[in-house]
Amino acid sequence: MTEITVTPLGAGQDVGRSCILLSIGGKNIMLDCGMHMGYNDERRFPDFTYVTKEGRLTQHLDCVIISHFHLDHCGALPYMSEMVGYDGPIYMTHPTKAICPILLEDYRKITVERKGETNFFTSEMIKTCMKKVIAVNLHQTMQVDDEMEIKAYYAGHVLGAAMFHIKVGQQSVVYTGDYNMTPDRHLGAAWIDKCRPDLLITESTYATTIRDSKRCRERDFLKKVHNCVDKGGKVLIPVFALGRAQELCILLETYWDRMNLKVPVYFSLGLTEKANHYYKLFITWTSQKIKKTFVERNMFEFKHIKPFDRAYIDNPGPMVVFATPGMLHAGLSLQVFKRWAPNEKNMVIMPGYCVAGTVGHKILNGVRKLEMENKQMLDVKLAVEYMSFSAHADAKGIMQLISQCEPRNVLLVHGEAVKMEFLKTKIKQEFSIGCFMPANGETAVMETKHNIPVDISLSLLKRESAKVGLLPPDAKRPRVLHGALVMKGSKLQLIDAADALQDFGLAEHQLRFTSTLAFDEEGPTTETADKIYQLVKSQLKDFPTHYSSDGSITISDSVLVQVSGDEESKSVLVSWSYQDEDVGSYLLQLLKSELVT
C-alpha cells in the first residue's frame, strides 16, 4: 500500500492562484503556479514556505507543470523560479509557452509601471524563467526522469490548454487545469482516454451549474448588446486577451454583418493582432470549423471590429468595446468602466467567472457604490449583466470527464467550498469512489493499492485448470496456483515448477505435507481403509486412485492415505506433495467431516 498526497497552495476551496503540490511515488510536482486577481499584497502569490522554509525550491521539486496561460495558473511563475529560486524543468504546451510571457509582461507593466509596486519580477526574470520551459505536444509521453513520465491531453478552455497525466511506477494522477467538455465557436471539446488513474484532480468552478443551450445564450447576448446600442448606450465587455474574446468577436462580427449595423465595435489595441498571430500559428488547436474555413477565410480577421484607442472612451454615441482584463481588476477594462459606470444608458456584460475581491465580482453581487484606489466613491448606474460564456466544464461536464477516465479517487480544486460539497456528494453517490476537497494549506492523503501484472505460462494454466475442474466447486475457498515465479527481462512470469527447474539446471526436491487424524471406531483397520477407499472413489472419482495390499491408498500419484490402530481407536495419516495441495487439503476436510465425530 502506497500513498499519494496533495496540498493546495492556491485554488483549495477557492478560485484563483492555482498551485497544487503533488507527491507521488517519492516525486514532488507543482501543478500550476498562479496569482490571485483579488489581492494586491503578499497573498496574491502562493506561500512557497510550504515547500521549503529556506534555500531554493529546486532541491524539493522534481518538476513544475503549467496547464494553460491564464494568469491565475501561471502568474507567479517568474516570482517562484527567479525570486524564490527554482532551476528544474517547467512543462507546458507550445501555445502556452508562446503566449505565457506576453501576458506575464502585460501583468508586470500594469503592476510595476502603472501602480508603482516594488519587489516584483522584472522583464529579464520572465525571459530567464521561460528558458527553463520544456514544450510538450499533445499525446506525447515525456520522460521527466527514469521513473516519471507525463502526457498532455486536449482541454479546450483556451488555446494550448492541456490536462496532464502523470505516472510514477504503478501510480498515476490526472490534473485537468481548466477544461471545457463542450466545443465552442473557436475551440474543440476536452478529451482524455480511459487511463484509470489513482487520482483525478479536477477544477470545479461550476460545480453546481448545468448550463442552458449555447444558442439561447448567444441570442440573449446579441439581443442585450443590440438593445443597448439602439438606445444610444455604450457596451463594455471585459475579456481575457485570448479565449472568450475571440469567441464573442466571431459572434458579434457575424451578427453585425447579418443586421448591417454601423455602430463601432472595438477591441483593446495591439491584442487583436497578437491573438490573430497565435491563432494562425497554432491553427491545429482550434475547432474543426475554423480549421476547415481557414484556407478561404480567416475567422479572426474582423471587418467590423477595430483596434481601440483610449482617446475613444469619451466619444459621443453608442459603441461596443472588448477590453482586458476580464475581471475588471486593473488595466483598460477598469479605466473604461470607471468612465461609463455613472450613466444608466450604458451596460457592462461580464462573460465569465470573477474572483472574489475584483471589481467584477463586487458588481455582480449587487454593489452599486465602489471605493476606488484614490478613496473616491464611484456610483454604478449602468446595467450589469452576467452571461456565462466561461469555458469551464459545468457539473454535467465534470461528471462526464470522471466517466471518461474512470479514476479511483477524485480531488476537487478551483471552486467554492459550498458548491464543492454538493458535487462531492454527487460523485460519491454516482461513482462510489473517494472524493476530497482540501482547503489551501491542508493535505489530502490517498492510499493506493496495486496489483503487479504476471504472465502465466500456458502449460501451467492447462495443468492447473484441469485439476480445478476435477475438484468439487467451493466458492468460499480460493484456488491455489502452483508454479515458480521468475523474472524474464522486465516481466514477471509464473511457469510450471518443473520447467523452471529445467531452465535453471536444478534438481527437484520433494516437499511433502502430513496431517494425522485420530478417532474412535470399532473393528479392524482394513474395514476403515475400505470405507475411506469407497469415500475417495465417490467424492474424487476423476482422480486416479490405487488401493495397495498393505492397506494404503494413493490418489493422483502424490496423495497418500495410511490407516493404523487397534480394534477400538484408529488414526489416519494423510500426506501430499505441494503440487497436490488442493487435493490433499480437500481430502483432509472430507475425512474430518466423515470420520471424526
Residues annotated catalytic, as ranges: 203
597 burial (CB, 10 Å; 0-12 / 13-18 / 19+) is exposed
8 A C-beta contact, residue 534 and residue 510: no
544 Cβ contact partners less than 8 Å away, ≥ 6 residues apart: 555, 556, 557
Which amino acid would we find at residue 371? E
CB atoms within 10 A of CB 337: 22
Peptide bond into 238 cis (omega under 30): no
Q: 190 — phi, psi (to 5°)?
A: -65, 150
8 A C-beta contact, residue 240 and residue 74: no
Phi-psi region of 119 (alpha: psi -120 to 50; beta: other; left: phi over 0): left
Q: H helices within 433-524, ranges in order?
A: 458-470, 497-504
Q: Which helix (H) or strand (E) holds 419?
A: helix 417-431
Q: Which helix (H) or strand (E) holds 592?
A: helix 581-595
Half-sphere exposure of 184 (CA within 13 A, CB side): 29
Residues 289, 291, 296, 298, Cα dihedral to 10°: 90
Sign of CA dihedral 542, 544, 549, 551: negative
370 Cβ contact partners less than 8 Å away, ≥ 6 residues apart: 341, 359, 362, 363, 377, 378, 380
Sign of CA dihedral 66, 69, 75, 77: positive
In 522-558, beta strands by DSSP E: 545-547, 553-555
8 A C-beta contact, residue 447 and residue 1: yes
Alpha-carbon distance of 147 to 166, in angstroms, equals 11
Q: H helices within 87-206, ranges in order?
A: 94-108, 123-130
First to last CA, the chain: 44
Q: 521 — phi, psi (to 5°)?
A: -155, 130
Grid coordinates of 222: 446579441
Q: What is the per-residue DSSP string for 510-522? A: --EEEEEEEEE--
Alpha-carbon distance of 380 to 454, in angstroms, equals 69
